[in-house]
Amino acid sequence: MFGARCLLRALRSCSSAPCPRQRPAARVSVRGALGVQSANGERVKVQGWIRSIRSQKEVLFLHVNDGSSLESLQVVADSSFDSRELAFGSSVEVQGQLVKSPSKKQNVELKAEKIEVVGNCDAKDSGFVHIHTPVITSNDCEGAGELFQVEPSSKIKVPEENFFNIPVFLTVSGQLHLEVMSGAFTQVFTFGPTFRAENSQSRRHLAEFYMVEAEISFLESLQDLMQVMESLFKTTAMTVLSNCPKDVELCHKFLAPGQKDRLEHMLKNNFLIISYTEAVEILKQASQNFTFTPEWGADLHTEHEKYLVKHCGDIPVFVINYPLALKPFYMRDNEDGPQHTVAAVDLLVPGVGELFGGSLREERYHFLEQRLARLGLTEAYQWYLDLRRFGSVPHGGFGMGFERYLQCILGIDNIKDVIPFPRFTHSCLL
């Protein structure tokens, strides 16, 4: 990456020698361009994604970011460049002159001579359908038994009866309902409250929190699923930084010094991938003494997750292929004995640990039938098994805890500080 001085020196040396033809534009990062203190019309090429677009009668303004900086570079173009392809999220290559900006908000701006759309972003054609999944449910999606049971406050005349005729609970996940709807709409998501009756007062647990969950039909590999997860993390982070820069800056300045650089580091690097087996070996070889001894077949604890992220250079890391015994019944069997695993994935991020959890779902009828029978769940989940009988397709999905996401991008240490009314064990004020 060019530093500001190196960039100017390189550009000026290219333009100082007489030449009958125009020199090709030098490729620079957004961070490099923003670092230039005295721009004099140097010809540059910037590649990135459109974070905002504003069209006036004669002028078009774009804000472009490539992940190298939290700030975007303003591109000023003639209105003739405007087209339907120039939209939020589209990837572009812009060539032009780097000039001093008349605005006080930035030192420089790029006066566009050529704008090429590298990749379109049509949200309507490729977007997800928003499904409002129920808060009250009879399903325990996670299978951990950490549920809040729902009962009417007034006493029912016949104590043996339930209001809904069956026991019902506050939802721990909308996943199973999303799986139903993905059979009609292919790509679906929900964003709403979820509840866990965990007896924990840790810095990353709440009894009530929000989850972004998605389900995708015709998904056949964890690689494809991880690509969606990484894209969601980065695109959402860049949108927050673009739309709420002063709020984020306030947190980074007063609450989490150094978080700006850490976040830039996460956004500009490709996320890493390791298997659960590799993760356990890394932990076994660590010089650090853990409270919970790492061993194959045991769950990864917060201390393990944070160590793995540090070991990977503070870059978010996907851990894939967990032991079958650790995961819920709906995850796809890898058929990989003797160490029997399922196609599960967790995304671990700096400062937090697990942020996303996802998997390929078991779409094969007989595999799912046998597993439900072993767990004694066939009757309760007959409706779920029936989904595999009528037009079943490979599919997968994930969930992301919204409050943990805020912790990650803002650098907030305690999850109770990113939600107005935190609910946790022994505390439910207001």
Q: Which residues pair with 109 in a beta bridge?
A: 99
pLDDT at 333: 96
Residue 340: pLDDT band with limits 50, 70, 90: very high
Per-residue pLDDT tens digits for 266-306:
998 999 999 999 999 999 999 999 999 999 999 999 999 99
Q: How far apart are the C-alpha atoms of 336 and 17, rounded to whole Å?
A: 64
pLDDT at 144: 57
| Number of residues assigned to the chain | 430
Closest CA relative to residue 127, chosen from 192, 214, 62, 240: 214
pTM equals: 0.75
Closest CA relative to residue 7, chosen from 50, 60, 48, 68: 68
Q: Once rounded to an integer, what is the mean pLDDT over residues 393-419?
A: 94
Beta strand 129-130 with 136-137: parallel, antiparallel or unpaired?
unpaired
Q: Tell me, what DSSP letter sits at residue 293?
A: -
Beta strand 317-323 with 341-349: parallel, antiparallel or unpaired?
antiparallel
With a cut of 80, say whether residue 23 has pLDDT above it. no
State the chain's mean pLDDT as an integer.
87
Sorted by sequence, the CB contacts under 8 Å of residue 211 that are 6+ apart come out as: 173, 174, 190, 191, 192, 193, 194, 399, 400, 401, 402
Range with the poorest average pLDDT among 2-6, 159-163, 207-211: 2-6
Q: How far apart are the C-alpha atoms of 55 and 405, rounded to whole Å?
A: 32
Sorted by sequence, the CB contacts under 8 Å of residue 146 that are 6+ apart come out as: 172, 196, 197, 198
pLDDT at 396: 97
Amino acid occupying residue 97 = Q
How many of the other CB atoms lie within 10 Å of CB of 278?
Answer: 14
Amino acid occupying residue 146 = E
Per-residue pLDDT tens digits for 222-267:
999 999 999 999 989 988 888 888 899 999 999 999 999 999 999 9
pLDDT at 88: 79
pLDDT at 202: 82
